[in-house]
Amino acid sequence: MSDERKIAFICSKGSLDMALPALVMGWAALGNGIDVTIFFTFWGMDIINKNRVDHLEIAPVANTSMKMSMMGVPGNLGIPNIVGILPGMTAFATKLMKDKMKALEVPPVREYLQMLVDAGAKLYACKMSVDMMGLTKEDFVDGVIDIVTAGDFIDMTEGAQIIFI
């Protein structure tokens, strides 16, 4: 519980499974009195995008870690990619993961983000990604402080431990 310890997360991915690490670890850090900054870049901006945050997904295609065991089938049986490409499979895998999260009392991403903001986490969006994707601050959920450059991020995270996701 050091007064000086700071952690900064860089979220670069927008799938549901890649949204969670920064939320879980950031929340744990805040609970332990550590300063938390999160920088959302490229696909990671989906996590703070008002129109996307409730619709983050996980695709079974080319996901070698997603096995039938997630559905209670014992062993190491995979989900063939050719099955994964069928319409509805991404939605199915997403629902499966969301149900599992709910069973563990993990809040949905939007609510989780709000918890972090309420606990003092500072959220920023990446300027270059925002410009590239034609977004503005209005596209982001409340709690995103500003759109900043990579240089700003480096300045504001002096002395912080940086975790790239």
67-106 residues in contact with another protein (CB under 8 A) are 104-106
Q: By C-beta, is 83 or 119 nearer to another protein? A: 119
Q: By C-beta, is 62 or 104 nearer to another protein? A: 104
15-54 residues in contact with another protein (CB under 8 A) are 24, 27-28, 30-34
107 contacts another protein (rule: CB under 8 A):
yes
Shortest spacing between CB 110 and another protein, in angstroms: 14
Enumerate the β-bridge partners of residue 146: 124
For residue 129, the SS3 value is: helix
Element (H, E) at 37: strand 35-40
From 39-47, 91-99, 116-124, 144-152, span contacting another protein (CB under 8 A): 116-124
Shortest spacing between CB 161 and another protein, in angstroms: 16
Angle between helices 16-31 and 89-103 (to 10 degrees): 20
Q: By C-beta, is 121 or 126 nearer to another protein? A: 121
Q: Who's near 138: CB < 8 A, 6+ residues apart? A: none
160 contacts another protein (rule: CB under 8 A):
no
Q: By C-beta, is 95 or 102 nearer to another protein? A: 102
1 contacts another protein (rule: CB under 8 A):
yes
Side-chain-side CA neighbours of residue 74 (13 Å): 0
115 contacts another protein (rule: CB under 8 A):
yes
Q: Are 160 and 6 in contact (CB under 8 A)?
A: yes
Distance, in Å, from the CA atom of 46 to the CA atom of 51, rounded to the nearest integer, reads: 8
The CA-atom distances, in angstroms, between 114 and each of 89, 120, 161 are 29, 10, 22
Chain positions contacting another protein, by CB under 8 A: 1, 3, 24, 27-28, 30-34, 104-107, 114-115, 118-120
